[in-house]
Amino acid sequence: MSGAALIGVPLIEVRRPGLQTTVQDAGRQVRALGVPAGGAADPVARRLGNALVGNAGGAAGLEVTLGGPTLVFHGAALVSLCGAPFDAQLDGEPFPLWRAVAVRAGQTLRVGGTPVGARAFLAVRGGLDLPEVFGSRSTDLRGGFGGLEGRALRAGDLLTVGAAAPLTPRRAFVAPDLHTPLGPEQVLRVTATPDLTGPLAAALLGRAFPVGAQADRMGVRLEGPVATPQDPGRVSVPNVPGMVQLPPDGRPILLLPDAGTHGGYPTPLVVIRADLPRLGQLRPGDRVTFRTVPLPDARAALHAQERALRQAEGSLRAWSGPALYAGRHAD
Amino acid sequence: MNGAGPEVSFTRLGDAALAVGTPGARALLASLRDSPLPGVQEVVPALHLLTLLFDPLRLDPADLEAALRARLAALDLTAPAGVGAARTLAVPVRFGGRGGPDLTWCAAHAGLSEGAFVEALCAAPLEVAFLGFTPGFAFLTGLPPGLRMPRLDAPRERVPAGSVALGGPWAGVYPSATPGGWRIVGRTDLRLFDLSRPEPVPWRAGDRVRFEAVPAGQPESA
C-alpha cells in the first residue's frame, strides 16, 4: 500500500439514511448453523460496482433500496453506483451510474428514487471497513448482526473505508447488456422440483403474478393465490437461493438472500442461478411470469453470464494494476 | 451395511443445489466435513437429508450424485454415530415457573408428576439433528415418545431467548426472542448465539445434548 493510503478514517457521514440502506457484501456460508446467507440482492451490481473502483468483487458497500440516502464525504473517495437507475446528484450535479466517480472531501452525494427496479449498490474504493461476522460484513436485519450494528443506516452514522492505494478513475463504463434486466414485466427462468404437481404447474406457469407490497430482503410475495396442497406432517428442509415457496395462503414467495435457512412449505419451483440477480430488483407492482427451462439451458445461461461478467471485471481492473488484487479474490 | 442402498434419493433443486435423502445423512455430513468435495460450497443438514449447494460451473450434478453414491457406499452406518467428532453439551435448565409456563400442562399430558417429567426429560439422550429457523436454533431428536408434545394451536408472538421447548418430535432452545409455537418447559442462561465468542453457536449437527435441572432460585452458570 502506498503512503497516501487512507487508514481507519470515518469517511462517510450519513445525513439521511434513505428507505432501507444496509451494508452488504457477498454474504456468508453458514446455513448449517441456521444463519441466512445475506449479501447484496443484486450480485451483478455488487461485482461490477466493486470492479469499477478496483475492489475485490466481495468488498462491502451500501445497498440502496427504492429511496436512497444522502451521504457527506469527509475525505476523497472513489465511488460507483450500479443497479437500478436511481436519480443521484453530487453537490447538485447529475451523478452518473455504472462509472467510477472521484468524490472530493466535503461533497454530498444524494441518491433519490428510481422509476424501475428496486436496488443499487454503492461501492467505495477500499470497501467499507466493518467487523466480519461469519466471514461477512453483510447486515442481517432480522438477526440484528453484521454491517453497522446489525441494522439499516440512520442519520448521523459514520462509515469507515478500508485502506487502499488511491486510484484515478478512467473513462471506463459497464456495457448495458451486463446490467441486471429491469422493468415491470419479468420472465424468470425456473426449474421444477418434485413438489410441482400437475395442478400446481397449471396454476403457476403461463400466467403473470403481480409483486405484492411485502417485498423485502427475505422474500418477495406474489399476489394471486394458487390452491396450495398442505401437509401438516411435512418436516423442515433446507431452503436454497431462488426457491419459490407456497405458504398456506397460496401467495407464492420468492426467497431472497435473507430468507431463513429452512422451511416447511412446498417449494415447487427454483429460479435458475443466472436469474437470481433479477429477484433483487423486483418492486411492488412488477409482474412475474415463470418459465421452466431444462437444466442444461440453465447452466448455459449461467456460463454465458459468468463469462461476460468475468471479462468485464477483468478489463475494469486491468487499468488499476494487478498488484492490488493478488491473493484476494471473491467470486 | 453401507449407505448407498435403495433408500437413497436425490432431488435437484434448481441448477445449483442437490438434496440427498438418506438414513446415513449424519455419517455423510461427517464425511463431507472431513473431506469436502470440490465445487460444493455448503452442506446444509435436515432430518435424514443433506442439501448441497454447489457451483454449477465447476460441478455437473450427475457427477456430484455419483461422488455422493460412492461416499455413501464407503460409509459404515453400523459404526456408532459420530464417535470422536461428536461433542456432548450440557444445557442447564430451570424448569417450570415463569420461565417454563407449559411445564404443568406437559407433565399432565405425559401423565407424570412435574418432577418425574423433568427427570425423564433430563435422562433423554438428545442429539442435534440440524440447525435452522433462526441462527443457533437446534432441532433436537431423541425424545422418548411419551415426552413428545403437540405444538400450540396458535404460536406465541414472542418467546423469550433461552426458552427450552417441546414441539412434535423435537426439543429445542430459542436462541433469541422470536415467535414460537412449541411448549415452553424451562429456561436456560446458556447463550446459543453469542457473537462475542469465538464460536458463536456452541453446537452443530451430530452433537449430543443433555438437559440438566437447576434448582429454582439458583444461578444456572457462573
Chain A closest-CA separation from residue B204 CA (Å)? 7
Q: Are B43 and B99 within one domain?
A: no
Whether residue B204 lies within 8 A of chain A, CB to CB, comes out as yes
Residue A190's DSSP bridge partners are A271, A292
Burial of A331 per CB tally in 10 Å (0-12, 13-18, 19+): middle
Cα distances from A96 to residues A17, A108, A277, in angstroms, run 20, 14, 21
d(CA B87, CA A204): 45
Structural domains in chain B (count): 2
Confidence of residue B218 (pLDDT cuts 50, 70, 90): low
The percentage of residues in chain B with a pLDDT greater than 70, rounded to a whole number, is: 90
pLDDT for the residue numbered A3: 41
φ and ψ of B130, to 5 deg: -170, 165
pLDDT for the residue numbered B2: 58
Q: Find out whether B65 and B10 touch, Cβ atoms under 8 Å.
A: yes
Question: Which of A35, A240, A261 lies at the smallest CB-CB distance from B13?
Answer: A240
Contacts of B16 in chain A (CB under 8 A): 240-241, 273
pLDDT for the residue numbered B134: 92
Confidence of residue B150 (pLDDT cuts 50, 70, 90): very high
Query: pTM for this structure?
Result: 0.91
pLDDT for the residue numbered B79: 60
Q: Are B139 and B174 within one domain?
A: yes
φ and ψ of A181, to 5 deg: -60, 135
Contacts of A236 in chain B (CB under 8 A): 46-47, 132-133, 139
Give start and end residues of each alpha helix (H) in chain A.
43-52, 198-204, 276-279, 295-318
Q: Are B97 and B154 within one domain?
A: yes
- The C-alpha cell 415491470 sits at A184
> CB count, 10 Å around CB of A8?
10
* Contact call for A238 and B205, based on CB within 8 A: no
Mean predicted confidence (pLDDT) in B172-193: 95
pLDDT for the residue numbered A6: 45
Contacts of A29 in chain B (CB under 8 A): 41-42
Confidence of residue A324 (pLDDT cuts 50, 70, 90): very low
**CA A214 to chain CA mean position, Å:** 17
- Is residue B81 predicted with pLDDT exceeding 70? no
Q: What is the pLDDT of residues A275-312, one digit of tens each?
A: 999 999 999 999 999 999 999 999 999 999 999 999 99
B81 occurs within a structural domain: no
Q: Are B96 and B64 within one domain?
A: no
Residue where one domain finishes, among candidates B45, B74, B103: B74
Whether residue A24 lies within 8 A of chain B, CB to CB, comes out as no
Name the DSSP class of A212. Answer: E
Sign of CA dihedral A111, A116, A118, A123: negative
Mean predicted confidence (pLDDT) in B76-87: 63
pLDDT for the residue numbered A71: 98
B-interface mutation test, from A136, A137, A237, A279, most B Cβ less than 10 A away: A237
Q: What is the pLDDT of residues A186-232, one digit of tens each?
A: 999 999 999 999 999 999 998 999 999 999 999 999 998 898 887 77
* Contact call for A298 and B14, based on CB within 8 A: yes
Q: Are B64 and B108 within one domain?
A: no
- The C-alpha cell 437507475 sits at A85
B108 occurs within a structural domain: yes
d(CA B66, CA A78): 48
Question: Which of B56, B134, B200 lies at the smallest CB-CB distance from A273?
Answer: B56
Q: Are B61 and B104 within one domain?
A: no
- Is residue A317 predicted with pLDDT exceeding 90? no
* Contact call for B15 and A191, based on CB within 8 A: yes
Whole-number average pLDDT of chain A: 91
B165 occurs within a structural domain: yes
Q: What's B111's domain CATH number?
A: 2.40.100.10
d(CA A175, CA A173): 7
- Is residue A149 predicted with pLDDT exceeding 60? yes
Give every CB contact of residue A75 below 8 A, 6+ residues apart in sequence. Answer: A6, A9, A11, A105, A161
A-interface mutation test, from B26, B44, B201, most A Cβ less than 10 A away: B44
Whether residue B61 lies within 8 A of chain A, CB to CB, comes out as yes
- Is residue A55 predicted with pLDDT exceeding 90? yes
- Is residue B76 predicted with pLDDT exceeding 70? yes
Question: Which of A35, A237, A295 lies at the smallest CB-CB distance from B135?
Answer: A35
State the ipTM, two decimals: 0.91
d(CA B101, CA B115): 15
Mean predicted confidence (pLDDT) in A144-159: 97
Whether residue B136 lies within 8 A of chain A, CB to CB, comes out as yes
Q: Which residue of A has its CA nearest to B200?
A: A134
* Contact call for B14 and A262, based on CB within 8 A: no
Mean predicted confidence (pLDDT) in A98-108: 95
Angle at A199 between CA A195 and CA A201, to 5 degrees: 65
Confidence of residue A138 (pLDDT cuts 50, 70, 90): very high
Chain A closest-CA separation from residue B152 CA (Å)? 13
> CB count, 10 Å around CB of A52?
29
Q: Which three cell numbers stand for residue A127?
A: 470497501
Q: Are B53 and B97 within one domain?
A: no
Q: Are B117 and B193 within one domain?
A: yes
Q: b/e string for B98-111 if b means 16 or more Cβ within 10 A? A: ebbbbbeebbebbe
pLDDT for the residue numbered A49: 97
pLDDT for the residue numbered A2: 41
B221 occurs within a structural domain: no
pLDDT for the residue numbered B80: 55
Mean predicted confidence (pLDDT) in A156-181: 88
Residue where one domain finishes, among candidates B48, B74, B100: B74
Confidence of residue B154 (pLDDT cuts 50, 70, 90): confident
B2 occurs within a structural domain: no
d(CA B51, CA B18): 6
Residues 17 through 46 of chain B touching chain A, CB cutoff 8 Å: 17, 19, 41-46
Selection from B93, B80, B189, B175 nearest residue B134 by Cα? B175
B142 occurs within a structural domain: yes
Give every CB contact of residue A163 below 8 A, 6+ residues apart in sequence. Answer: A1, A5, A6, A7, A8, A126, A129
Contacts of B41 in chain A (CB under 8 A): 29
Q: Find out whether A242 and A274 touch, Cβ atoms under 8 Å.
A: no
B3 occurs within a structural domain: no
d(CA A117, CA A184): 8
Q: What's B17's domain CATH number?
A: 3.30.1360.40
* Contact call for A270 and B17, based on CB within 8 A: yes
Question: Which of B12, B51, B200 lies at the smallest CB-CB distance from A237?
Answer: B51
- Is residue A22 predicted with pLDDT exceeding 70? yes
Write out the residue range of the structural domain in which residue B202 sits: 88-213
Q: Are B96 and B127 within one domain?
A: yes
d(CA B56, CA A117): 27
Q: What is the pLDDT of residues A225-268, one digit of tens each?
A: 898 887 777 788 999 999 999 988 899 999 999 999 999 889 99
pLDDT for the residue numbered B182: 94
Mean predicted confidence (pLDDT) in B174-185: 93
Mean predicted confidence (pLDDT) in A87-93: 98
Size of interface A-B (CB pairs under 8 A): 116
Contacts of B131 in chain A (CB under 8 A): 32-34, 261
Q: Are B92 and B202 within one domain?
A: yes
Residue where one domain finishes, among candidates B39, B74, B109: B74
B222 occurs within a structural domain: no
Whether residue A291 lies within 8 A of chain B, CB to CB, comes out as no
Q: Are B96 and B177 within one domain?
A: yes
pLDDT for the residue numbered B155: 86
Confidence of residue B215 (pLDDT cuts 50, 70, 90): confident
d(CA A247, CA A295): 26
Q: Are B107 and B154 within one domain?
A: yes
Mean predicted confidence (pLDDT) in A6-26: 87
